[in-house]
Structure 1
Amino acid sequence: MTQQLKAESVTKSRGVERLVGGQFVMDGAGVKINRVLTGPLQRRLDPFLMLDAFGSDKAGDYIAGFPSHPHRGFETVTYMLTGRMRHRDSAGNEGLITNGGVQWMTAGRGVVHSEMPEQEEGLMEGFQLWLNLPAKDKMTEPWYRDIPNEALPRFALDTGASVQVIAGTTHGVTGAVVREGTEPLYLDVHLPAGASFDLPLPAGHNAFVYAYRGELVVDGKAVPQARMAILDNAADADGVRIKAAQDSRFLVIAGRPLKEPIAQYGPFVMNTEQELFQAVEDFRAGRFA
């Protein structure tokens, strides 16, 4: 059910610090993806570690999937716009993400899982976001939740914006997942041409916008399709104002920075090199869930 709400107003909008196009890479067993948020941006966009955008109607670009691989120390958020992906992990958990659905997984102290397509033709499109865990939570028990599209809270504003809330709280609407440590806000927004969306944001939260359909204007700067706009942290800004130059869909992602050391070795993200050595040893010894 979509709630009908009145728009909120932002007095001073954050600006666009820079635009990022990402880089095309192969991951898993040969899946073609656009890595929008890459390693060099991790500290700037703390607590977010990575954002992958994938989308193709060519089965050869995705059919090999992501066979069994380990994770430790962070969370993965998979948002499937179109397609079907089966998840299995070493703890015996299993789930299926379908059109518009989300899977939120906390790798915690360690899990081995696979993500494999359950389709051999047609379009597969979506995103995977990596969200860091605070040091105190990195060794927590693994956990995950499959959230079907119909269970995601959504609202519409009198300005024409339609908003789906995957995580966090905005306009009085709380998303499917809430995290105290990083306070992530994860929105999927549809704006018809000419419409605008004012989004209040907490001071100090790092934030970015990814336009995956159409073209946006953020505080007067054009944001083309398939570009990420990193928002500045202007002290006097109370949010961001986004306008649609054409019918558009985009993600808005924001979170409270952890301001902790980041030590990464592939699928392991800890705070120190010693913790990384331990992660590799534990994985090789079969100590993951």
Structure 2
Amino acid sequence: MSQLSRKTEHLVQGQPTRDGAGVNLVRVLTHQWQRRLDPFLMLDEFRSDDPNDYIAGFPEHPHRGFETVTYMLAGQMRHKDNAGHEGVVGPGDVQWMTAGKGILHSETPEQVEGLMHGFQLWINLPAKNKLAKPTYQEVASNQIPVVRSQEGHSVKVIAGQWHDIVGPLQRPDTAPLYLDIQLANAQPIFVPITASHNALVYVVAGEPEVGGQRVTARRMAVLENNPQADGVLLQGNAGDQLLVLTGQPLAEPIVQWGPFVMNSREEIEQAIADYQTGQF
């Protein structure tokens, strides 16, 4: 079977910013890419071994209308919310929270020194689920399958499916694929992508080629939408690390005000009113 790779359409340099109580991070997927990369709304990377960059954490704050996926590579973060969920996400673990109709949560570092490194991804919810009951799921590192490709590379399947390996997290409407790929050699690896999905590749480390274009570390490659292409070709060197994210677009209006993402201004105003009157 012939394999045609999507090409890199845009290269995006993340924007340094501060969030929470002063956490330094890089915002990779910003507001301007939300339509193009629907259903993904935001992607942040936090990476520092200076406690001053992360120690303040993210005090209690609200969300409505989408899901957050936190993936830790190093360090520990404690999650606590007003729906009664609490847990610590450590190296290799994933936390998947569906804010739905509204949740208040905090994320606090469980360390006072050392490297804190991870990602937070926001995935939109379809209009029919935006006011669903909030849910929370923690997936320990040992519950996430890591497979060796035939070329020898490591593929961690966080969400979606890699060939016949099914990840622990599945969502029917947005059908996200979330892979963490670590290259072991210079052999190219072809990652299948559903033709209808929007897709991006974020280079965590190294300088691999993504769809034929070299991408330096801490940059996002937005992949073209090509109905003839059935995946993306990745090639680099041992030690290169890439996140591959693809999802089924919802093709619904996106109206965001801070931590609320709905389909209309009226729904945003309602979210603000509900939050201010203690209904989250």
TM-score range with shorter-chain normalisation?
A: over 0.9
**2:121 & 2:2 partners in 1: Cα distance?**
27
Change (3 A) 1:205 1:248: same
Give the deviation of 1:70 after TM superposition. Answer: 0.1
Deviations 1:45-73 (A, max 9, x none): 00000000000000000000000000000
Matched, 1:258 2:250: yes
Match of 1:243 among 225, 235, 239: 235
Match of residue 132 from structure 1: 124
**1:219 & 1:29 partners in 2: Cα distance?**
38
Match of residue 27 from structure 1: 19
Give the deviation of 1:245 after TM superposition. Answer: 4.1
Match of 1:176 among 168, 188, 201: 168
Note the 1:67-78 alignment, pairs <5 A. 67-78=59-70
Match of 2:34 among 29, 32, 42: 42
Matched, 1:15 2:7: yes
Match of 1:167 among 150, 155, 159: 159
Matched, 1:209 2:185: no
**1:90 & 1:141 partners in 2: Cα distance?**
12
Match of residue 83 from structure 2: 91
Give the deviation of 1:204 after TM superposition. Answer: 1.7
Q: Choose 166-175 or 248-257, whichever is displaced more.
A: 166-175
Which amino acid letter does the alignment assign opposite residue 20 of structure 1?
Answer: V
Verify the 8 A CA contact 2:39 2:249 in the aligned structure 1: yes
Matched, 1:268 2:273: no
**2:19 & 2:187 partners in 1: Cα distance?**
37
**1:195 & 1:84 partners in 2: Cα distance?**
34
Verify the 8 A CA contact 2:183 2:237 in the aligned structure 1: no
**1:200 & 1:280 partners in 2: Cα distance?**
41
**1:187 & 1:179 partners in 2: Cα distance?**
15
**2:170 & 2:225 partners in 1: Cα distance?**
23
Q: Secondary structure at the match of 1:80?
A: strand
Note the 1:190-201 alignment, pairs <5 A. 190-201=182-193
Match of residue 154 from structure 1: 146
**1:275 & 1:10 partners in 2: Cα distance?**
46
What TM-score results when the alignment is normalised by the length of structure 2? 0.98
Structure 2: tracts of 5 or more residues without a match = none
**1:226 & 1:206 partners in 2: Cα distance?**
20
Match of residue 121 from structure 1: 113
Deviations 1:236-287 (A, max 9, x none): 1111111014530110000000000001000000000000000000001111
Match of residue 215 from structure 2: 223
Verify the 8 A CA contact 2:160 2:167 in the aligned structure 1: yes
Query: What percentage of residue pairs aligned between the two structures are identical?
Result: 54
What TM-score results when the alignment is normalised by the length of structure 1? 0.95
Which amino acid letter does the alignment assign opposite residue 117 of structure 1?
Answer: P
Structure 1: tracts of 5 or more residues without a match = 1-8
Q: Secondary structure at the match of 1:164?
A: strand
Give the deviation of 1:154 after TM superposition. Answer: 1.7
Match of 1:101 among 87, 93, 96: 93
Which amino acid letter does the alignment assign opposite residue 102 of structure 1?
Answer: V
Which amino acid letter does the alignment assign opposite residue 228 of structure 2?
Answer: D
